[in-house]
Structure 1
Amino acid sequence: MDAIVKVVADAFATDDPIEEYVFPDPEIRHRRSRDMLRIMIRHRFLPSGGAAVADLDGKVAGALLWYPAGYRRTLWREAISGPQLLWAMGPRATVRGLAIDAANAEVAPREPHHFLVYLGTDPSLQRTAGVGRALVRWVLAQGSAQQAPVCGICKDANVPYYAAFGFEVQRTVRIGRDGPEMNFTLAQPVPVESV
């Protein structure tokens, strides 16, 4: 899990409006985001089957963290992870994290869907090795196999990246009252051909 935490935290350390909204101070972001990610991976993504990694030369080169189709938060997991997240993030960042969860819930489709939360590639490999592309193609294949759309929110600069995979901007959503405005994108599953 530490390798996933490292690659995702490094990928989102700078130039990410949501991480900067949660942890405005870069030093605090560097310290606290790793603990936050570790708790989210342990209590949300791994138990739900919403974690995949790309391996390159025996090392984690990228990771995709998402809420799979049909994901539901359980009271038990929230009761365990909530206090841990509060401790790891601090009170202000926790409130901002809840605003992100609320924005995701606001835009999420009613039908079963995969909701992408983090797609991170080792910064030294970004835009060169195809790590992120492989992970996105993989989750799109999962969505098509289950006939579930794949969606998520992203900043303006990432819209063309996702558009290349068939994601379309559905609307924008503001995170909290004073947070960034993000694009909600969605890719429909490829229809399964009848035999």
Structure 2
Amino acid sequence: MEEMVRVLTLAFETDDPIEEYVFPDLAQRRRRTPGMLRVLIRHRYLPAAAAIVAEVDGRVAGTVLWIPAGYRNPVWREAISGPRLLWAMGPAATRRGIEVDAAIAKSAPVEPHNYMVYVAAEPQSQRVGVGRAMMDWLIAETDAQGRALCGLCKDGNVGYYQGFDAQPIDRVRIGSKGPEMNFIKRSARVAAG
């Protein structure tokens, strides 16, 4: 888990509208993001079996976290993770994090879908195929389930996801004053064979 936290922290430290909205101050982002990610990974993504990593030369170089179709975190797990997130993030960032969760829930389509939340490669492993390998795996898994694949991304990443046949469908604002993000969707496919 610590390697996943390291990769995500490095990948989203700068030039990510959502992380910059949740933690506007860079020093605070560097200090608080790892704790937030530990809680999210431990209490949301691992229990849902919704996390993969990519290894390069024996080290974790990338990770993808998503919300599987129909998955709802049990109330008891939310009760445990809520105070831990508040402690890790601080009150203001927790409020903004809740706005991110609300934007994800609001943008999610009615049809069965997997919702990508984080797709990350450590900086030295970007643009060398790590992200593509993880996306290819997630797409194959999603296609095998006959589900759509969705997510939010910044303007600069739309072309990347279009390379996987995901199209921008809508714009979604985080909270009332947060960034506007692209809601992207790759339609459900049925895997061959």
TM-score class normalised by the smaller sequence: over 0.9
- Map Cα deviations across residues 24-74 of structure 1 (whole Å, 9 max, x no partner): 000000010000000000000000011000011110010001111221122
- Map Cα deviations across residues 92-113 of structure 1 (whole Å, 9 max, x no partner): 0000000000000111011221
Shift of 1:188: 1.4
Query: Which runs of 4 or more aligned residues in structure 1 lie more than 4 Å from their structure 2 counterparts after TM superposition?
Result: none
In the alignment, is residue 120 of structure 1 matched against residue 130 of structure 2?
A: no
2:187 is aligned to 188
1:124 aligned counterpart, secondary structure: helix
- Tell me the percent identity: 55
Preserved contact between residue 145 and residue 190 of structure 2 (Cα < 8 Å): no
Preserved contact between residue 140 and residue 189 of structure 1 (Cα < 8 Å): no
Give the number of equivalent residue pairs: 193
1:111 is aligned to 111
**TM-score (normalizing by structure 2):** 0.98
Unmatched tracts of structure 2, length 5 or more: none
2:12 is aligned to 12
2:164 is aligned to 165
Aligned pairs for 1:29-44 within 5 A: 29-44=29-44
Preserved contact between residue 119 and residue 132 of structure 1 (Cα < 8 Å): yes
With 105-114 and 30-39 compared, the bigger mean Cα shift is at 105-114
Q: Aligned partners of 2:165, 2:126: CA distance in 1, in Å?
A: 20
Preserved contact between residue 140 and residue 191 of structure 2 (Cα < 8 Å): no
Q: Aligned partners of 2:160, 2:23: CA distance in 1, in Å?
A: 25
**TM-score (normalizing by structure 1):** 0.97
Aligned pairs for 1:1-195 within 5 A: 1-127=1-127, 129-193=128-192
